Structures are given as structure tokens and as C-alpha cells.
Chains A and B, each alone.
Chain A
Amino acid sequence: MTASSQQTRPDVAVDVRRRGPRRGDDRERAGWTLATPFFVLYFLFLLWPVLAAAWKSLFSDSLAGGNSKWRGLGNYGELIGDSDFWAAMWHTAFFTLLSTPPLIIIPLALALLVNRVAKGQWLFRLAFFAPYVLPVSVIVLVWNWLYQPGFGLINGYLTKLGFAEVNWLGAEGTAMVSVVIATVWWTLGFNFVLFLAGLQEIPRELYDAAKTDGAKAWQQIRYITLPLLMPTTVLVIVLQVIASLKVFDQIYLLLQGGPNFSTRPAIQYIYENGFTQYRVGYASALSFVFFLLIVAISVLLFAGLRRLQTRTGEETA
């Protein structure tokens, strides 16, 4: 890979507008030499799959071999009428709707509290961030164990306290909630750290001034902290929504999309069509539609974010 990419592009190098005796050519070549190795990998493994998905989605290819037939927009026609696909899209959206609020509110609350602690902040950061560095399979093994009926820790304490047991993983109504709880435990640390950093950029003088004016703690939070933290909050929301939309690992490993496909997310449906049904053409169409949706949502969110940031920038200026 590296060897082939070391070759520069002579056509481009020769074509450069002459600036100095020789330096232009040298730098031209150097620029391409330095950028090419990365770009080759980037093109092969990020851009090409997008193009391949778009192209393959027009065929009835199978991973199992056999001849590939032109299908035109047939895969897309099938997709529009595929209720399983739209159910999976809804599960992804539902996971995002359920997971985003607690993944904003809880880390924000924890960061507000930790920010008031004078010593030992690192201890709390350690506790809240530690799960974030663990592989998803560890999260799933531990939470699967915690959620067990009867001898699972959570149900064990529920019965000890006189509550009824909850069928965490086996009932359609609670399975998604269970995944969300495990996800919150796992990933909250990331948002917590972002909030804490945002809080620490708020000038202390503002609080001092508010205090001399007799503002109470909650008034300081309401009128100083939260407004000034707004750019961070919006950014965290945007990142969280996009991350949640790509959910697959923990749902697949904890529930296999069940019970009765009630939690199966979009990416699992793509995966199953490609790798268990071997329908590469159709899976490519699904991939491409999902890809376009994620890109569109990301672009919209970031455009909104930037507008908001420039607006608050003007206000404070």
C-alpha cells in the first residue's frame, strides 16, 4: 500500500505554475507524496464503499455467488414497501429518543455538582468515565448478568425491597429501556467530561459578582451557568444524537434485536440482509438509504449548530 502510493503524480508536478527556480516542483511533489498514502486508504475504505453501495444497489447480487442481474431501482421499490426495514428504522429512532435525554441531563447534573467540589474531582471523573473505556462485550456480559430474573442483582434487590420483578430483557416493553440504561452507564462519562470542561471555562468573576448581588446557588445556575454553557450543551446534543443513530453493538449483543425483533436497529437489519440472507444488492440499497439519512441529519444538525454558535458569538461580542 505504502510502496505504490509513494509514486508521485508526474503530470501534476510538471504542470505547476513556476514560482521559483525549482522549489515549486519540489513542494508540489512533496505535497502529493505526503498526502497520497493516507488518501489511498481513505479512498479505498471510506469513499469507495459509498460508491459501491450506490452501484450494487441496482443489482440483485448475492454474497453466495450466482449471477448478478440488473435490477434498476427494484431494490428501492422493495425497500419502500419493506415494513421490517421501517420497523428497524423506527427502533433506531426510538433508541435515539430514549437515550439522548438521560445522556444529556444526567451528565450535565453530575458535572454541575462535581464542578462545585473543591478537591477530589478526579475521583468522580474516574468513576463516571471508567465504563467508557471498556469494550461493548464487557458491558453486555455484565449487564446481562445484572438483568437476570431471580438471581440477577437488580431483580434481587427489587424483590428484597418488596417490588415485583421486572423482565428486563425478555419483554417487548422493557427490552429497549434495559439497553438504554446499560448504554447510559457505559457512555455517560464522555458527555460528563465535555460538560465539566465547558463549566470550567465560565469566568469565576461572574459568580463572584452574582454572589455580591445576593444571587442564590440555583439562581446562579439558572442565569449564569446554563446560558453560558449553551454552546457546549448544543454540541453535546448534536454529537449524542448522531452517535445514538448508529446504535448496533449493544442491542445486537444483549438482545439480538429481540424479543420478537422489537429492538432490532437499522444497522442490524442491513447486517442480516447482507450476511445471513446473502442479499448484497438489497443490503446495499438499505445501506445507501441509511447512509444518506445519517449524512443528511448530520449536515442539518451541524449547520444548525454553527448558526447557533455564530449567533451567540455575536451576542456576547
Chain B
Amino acid sequence: VSVQAQDRLGVPAVRSDTAVASGRRRRLRPGGVLVIAILVIAAILWLVPFAWAIATSLKPDAETTETPVSWTASKITFDAYDSILGRGDIFRWYFNSALVSVVVTALTVLLASMAAFAFSRVAFRGKGTLFFFVAAGLIVPFQALIVPLFEEMDTFGLVDTYWAIILPQVASPIAVLVFKRFFDGIPRELEESALVDGASTWRIYWQIWMPLARPATAAVAIFTFVVTWNNFIWPFVVTTARSLQTIPVGLSTVNSFYGAQYAQVMALAIMGALPLLIAFLLFQRQIVQGISNTGLKG
């Protein structure tokens, strides 16, 4: 639900799915040298923080705070990585983040698409009211509700469990809206043959609509995964056990045990960034599309 991403509030979509981040685009006239020069400088500037973090992580710890600042040290060393990998917390964080994100994503895709299918394709009483409530949820600021939500988890006895991290993040109205918009756009004839065959509504949903809904599924899944992976405030509030820390929560405690050992701190930051960064390098187009399209509607 919350991303600084990230959570952006609901609006009618203004453009088709292919438009965002599309690789096939009309070319304006080729940019001048000046345009390219400005952009290259901006891009380099944008990459400097990454580069500086990497450079720092490869220095011997004693040399990280030398002045005047220098990009290089007397030698390149992986000591910092040895140290943090030896400590092993990072693997626990990877595991927790992966577990939570996979379960939240799977549940969100399943439950949101089921609800969206009902809203889009099934006539039932109370549908209008129910849908109104779900759509209204788009403007509910999740971050403002951490105190009552924590109390609720406390009542359920779920504080410091994976379920406490997972369940509230599944209740994502954005996902329902994205699926509903997709289902609304599919011609009705497709299901009528199945109706004649006497297939149950459940089978129509699962065997006809879900295979058709791959683009919507991909967008919702990518968006949900990234948002959940990066969610800080909710896991931070609802867990105190170190064994349950996700990457954002675990990394927020780094200063307390590495303090001013900047090579280690930067090595941890890089290790924390790595999974999504690699995914982003591999699936740039899909990730940009999934996040911007869903975030736009959400």
C-alpha cells in the first residue's frame, strides 16, 4: 500500500499501457550536441552517489575518511564485504524480504483479480456499494494509520510475526482497480461460449480471464513486489525481532553496529540495493512500465 513510492493516489488513467516507457516511439529530430552534452552530464551526476558508494566500499576502512576526498585508495580491497557477509545479517534480510514480497505479491494478484473480476463481470447485489468502498480506499493514507493498525495486530496477537507484515499490504485497492480496468476492456463475447458450455464462474475466471490478463498481472505483480520489498514504515513498526527484519528495516539499524566504519556501511548499502538493481537492469522496460502504469492509477 505504501511506497514512497510511494504510494500514489488514484486517478483515472490518462494513457494507454504501451505509451509509458515504450521503446517504440516517434523520433523527433535528432538532438543537438548540446542536448546530449547536458543529458550526459545529468546522467553522470545521477550516477555519482552509486559510484561513490562503490568506491568507498572497496577502500581499506582507515582510508575512507581521509581528506582531501579521493576516489581511490592505496589498494582495492573486499575486506568490507568479507566483514558484512561474515556477519550474515544480510542473508536473513534477503530471506525475509523475499518471503514477505513473494507472499504479498501472490496474495495480492490472486485476491485483487478475483475481486476485480466480480466487480467487472458478475452481477451481484451490493456490488456498487462494495466497489465504492474499495475505490475510496485509494485516498486513505496508510502511513497515518500505523497506530490503530498496530493495536489491531496486537489484539490479534500477530505483532512480531510474518503475517503482521504481510496481511495489511495485501489490502491494495490499486491492484483491484488495475485489474478491473483491464477486465472492463475485454469484449464480452469471449465468455459467452463458456457460459453456454456451463462452466462455473470460478472456472471462467481462472481458465478464461486470468490467462488473458497477463499484462495486468505482470504490472500489478511488479508494482506490488517492488513496493513491498521497499516498504519501510510498516515492517519497522510491527516487528521488533531482529530475525524478522526486512532489508529496509535491517539496513536502518546498520549505524548502530557499524557506526563510522564507512566501508562496511557502504558495502551493506550496496548489498541492500543489489537485488532490485539487478532486476531493474535485466527487466528495465517491464519494471518502468509496471511501476509507472500502476502507480499512476494507484
> Are A and B part of the same complex?
yes
- Give the B-binding residues of A (Cβ under 8 A): 1, 12, 15-16, 26-28, 30-35, 37-39, 41-42, 44-50, 52-53, 56, 63, 110, 113-118, 121-138, 140-143, 145-146, 148, 150-153, 156-157, 159-160, 185-187, 190, 193-194, 196-198, 200-201, 204, 207, 231-232, 235, 238-239, 242-243, 245-250, 253, 267, 270-271, 273-275, 280, 283-284, 287, 290-291, 294-295, 298-299, 302, 305-306, 309
Given A34-B201, A34-B205, A151-B66, the answer on whether A295 and B230 have CB atoms closer than 8 Å is no
- Give the A-binding residues of B (Cβ under 8 A): 1-2, 4-12, 14-15, 19-23, 25-32, 35-36, 38-39, 42-43, 46-50, 52-53, 56, 64-69, 111-112, 114-115, 117-119, 122-127, 130, 133-134, 137, 139-152, 167-168, 170-171, 173, 176, 200-202, 205, 226, 229-230, 232-233, 237, 247-252, 254, 262, 265-266, 268-269, 272-273, 276-277, 279-281, 284-285, 287-288, 291-292, 295-296
Q: Are the C-beta atoms of B284 and A126 separated by less than 8 Å? A: yes
Smallest beta-carbon distance B54→chain A, Å: 10
B65, B125, B133, B226: which contacts A28 (Cβ < 8 A)?
B125
Q: Are the C-beta atoms of A127 and B268 separated by less than 8 Å? A: no
B35, B269, B287, B295: which contacts A117 (Cβ < 8 A)?
B35
Q: Are the C-beta atoms of A46 and B137 separated by less than 8 Å? A: yes
Residues of B within 8 A of A137 (CB): 232, 247-252, 254, 269, 272
Q: Complex Cα distance A264/B262, Å? A: 26
Q: Complex Cα distance A135/B276, Å? A: 9
Residues of B within 8 A of A52 (CB): 148, 151-152
Q: Are the C-beta atoms of B43 and A130 separated by less than 8 Å? A: no
Residue of B nearest to A41 (CB): B171
Q: Complex Cα distance A52/B233, Å? A: 19
Smallest beta-carbon distance B22→chain A, Å: 7
Given A56-B151, A138-B269, the answer on whether A197 and B15 have CB atoms closer than 8 Å is yes
Given A160-B68, A238-B11, the answer on whether A39 and B134 have CB atoms closer than 8 Å is yes
Residue of B nearest to A298 (CB): B139
Residues of B within 8 A of A270 (CB): 144, 146-147
Residues of A within 8 A of B68 (CB): 156, 159-160
Query: Could you tell me the dominant secondary structure of chain A's interface residues?
Result: helix
Apart from A50-B145, A124-B42, list 10 A-B contacts with CB within 8 A. Answer: A42-B137, A110-B39, A113-B38, A128-B43, A146-B49, A156-B68, A193-B21, A196-B21, A246-B144, A267-B144
